[in-house]
Structure 1
């Protein structure tokens, strides 16, 4: 039996650079810029947030309060021979910043 290493849970804010079509190109994490590999499929999905459990009311015209956006991409450091790492990025409803949920 082989034990797989656990995914480090980070929950840190990260800066993400996007292409004009909205696909992640690079991630600034831990003082480094990780380049997203364009040849590896990037997963993009949405889940629903239970906004009624965290907010007492939603003002009319507030916007989308329930869609949590995710990207999962493969990235590497451009100047080093480091193997690809999987980054899972999350953005809460109405947020402008991205959070690094995990990297493995």
Structure 2
């Protein structure tokens, strides 16, 4: 996958828009970060992933999922897009979108 693939998925949902975060491309919902491209150009910063789930993802798929010390205390996982596929990324992205989007937007998309 690439960030463009992630963009195509997310921009098909209501209230998602392009933006930037820390100088990198980002996707936002109602001005809140849905996901952003990390400075390495390959990793997706994916908020909304509780630490216990993140630990399980990193353990089960270490080539795709990881985190750095910077993110250890936050509900965030990093996804190496070059090692991930849509079936891995989309459910996490959709769950975060649902958490940020209005109830009306979520209802309209289902």
**Normalization by structure 2: what TM-score?**
0.25
Query: Normalising to structure 1: TM-score of the pair?
Result: 0.26
More strand per residue? 1
